[in-house]
Amino acid sequence: MTNSTITRKRGPRGRAPRVMLYSHDTFGLGHLRRTRALATAITEVDAEASALILTGSPVAGRFAFPPRVDHIRLPGVTKLADGSYASQALGLDIDETTDLRAGLIEAAAQRFRPDLLIVDKEPSGFRGELLPTLRRLLEEGGTKMVLGLRDVLDEPEVLIDEWARKGAVEAAETYYDELWVYGLRSVYDPTASLPLSKSLRDRMVFTGYLRRDKVELGPAPEEPYILVTPGGGGDGETMVNLVLQAYETDPTLSPRAILVYGPFLSGDTRADFEARVQALNGRVEAVGFESQIETLFAGARGVICMGGYNTFCEVLTFDRPAVIVPRTVPRLEQYIRAHRAEEMGLVGVIDEWRDGLTVEAMIAAIRGLADRPRPSASFPQGLLDGLDHVTERVGALLAQRRECAAE
């Protein structure tokens, strides 16, 4: 099925714009936080617009959402050690869980009747759960549809196989009016290896990275401190352990560190870390989850972090000297992003293959933050213009929809 074989019907007129955002969120915080940033920017620019986020994140309820932004929590799934998925809490098999999620998504779209749908990363959704909704919206008309991709997805060979297996290229070609990349082509093109048509590539927009300063900052902790964050924390044990070892090994290491574990760090692992933090007598402070981590970024002298998209955007937004310790499994996404940023002079990197994940490397990284230049010294033009370009495109797409409805 292609766009050329379907006639779009007219959508409803005479009401405030409605934007639906889909974020599959099987693990971690990245997709939800990116989607929330988009919804916030869109509703700030258009005082009448409302946004509804569909998310599978188990911690969605711990975030504050701005006026005219709400969310529906889809039943959670968890990824098992063998790469398969299971229901997080309901005792259903994965097919039953996917069918339930797909039905909820389609029902929400029927009732909300979005003028614009923005889908994060997965063209057909988790295990194809979005396809019934995409088909319905395309056949009914009146809804513009956009696929949004982060700056890096994975190494090219792996990405080609993954998109072929999921039918992602066909879904992207069939259903989406535009494809947005939340980065710059001059930094990295995540689609370069994919067999996309010229027509779809002509509908691609490289927005720039998404700023993270559209939140109200709270009072900053007493300075000086460095911020240590593994993002969601589910795969952050190695980095956190190295930071604690650095402070344990070198009693002169300063300034103090504020460590945010993230909500997905294992409970047993965190208990062990807590005992070690206590033994450091205030040289390291730790919190489990911080929904307004932007406040900690704003006051930090520097940052030690993993290389997720959202953390990288925060490093750039608050212009903090940073050293990234990227993960290398199950994807090379963070590794690619970190090394491209290092090549551009934006951050430093501790590379497990080049430098080794050693205490000595971490001590040198923490000490080196004081002399590391801020990322802004190496910013290319338009690096942080993502939200501006997104809201411009939203306005243009909504205007096109109104014109079609008026015909």
DSSP 20: E
Q: Provide the CATH number for the domain around residue 98.
A: 3.40.50.2000
Confirm whether 271 is domain-assigned. Answer: yes
Domain count, the chain: 2
Q: How confident is the model at residue 1 (pLDDT cuts 50, 70, 90)?
A: very low
Q: What pLDDT score does 7 carry?
A: 34
Q: What pLDDT score does 2 carry?
A: 39
Q: What is the pLDDT of residues 94-121, one digit of tens each?
A: 999 999 999 999 999 999 999 999 999 9
Q: What pLDDT score does 46 carry?
A: 94
Q: Is the pLDDT of residue 29 over 70?
A: no
Instruction: Give the domain extent around 278.
Output: 225-378
Helix, coil or strand: residue 232: coil
Confirm whether 219 is domain-assigned. Answer: no
Q: Is the pLDDT of residue 8 over 50?
A: no
| Same domain? 374 vs 389 | no
Q: What pLDDT score does 139 carry?
A: 96
Task: Take residue 403 and report the two structure tokens written for it.
Answer: 């014109």
Continuous H helices in 280-343: 293-299, 309-317, 333-343
Q: What is the pLDDT of residues 138-153, one digit of tens each?
A: 999 999 999 999 999 9
Q: Is the pLDDT of residue 3 over 60?
A: no
| Same domain? 297 vs 399 | no
| Same domain? 336 vs 317 | yes
Least confident of 322-331, 335-344, 380-389: 322-331
**CA separation for the pair 368, 341 (Å, rounded):** 17
Q: What is the pLDDT of residues 229-238, one digit of tens each?
A: 987 767 889 9
| Same domain? 372 vs 392 | no
Confirm whether 70 is domain-assigned. Answer: yes
| Same domain? 391 vs 322 | no
Average pLDDT of the chain, as a whole number: 90
Q: How many other CB atoms are found less than 10 A from the CB of residue 98?
A: 20
- In the chain, what are the helix, strand and coil shares in percent, each to the nearest 5? 40, 15, 40
| Same domain? 154 vs 282 | no
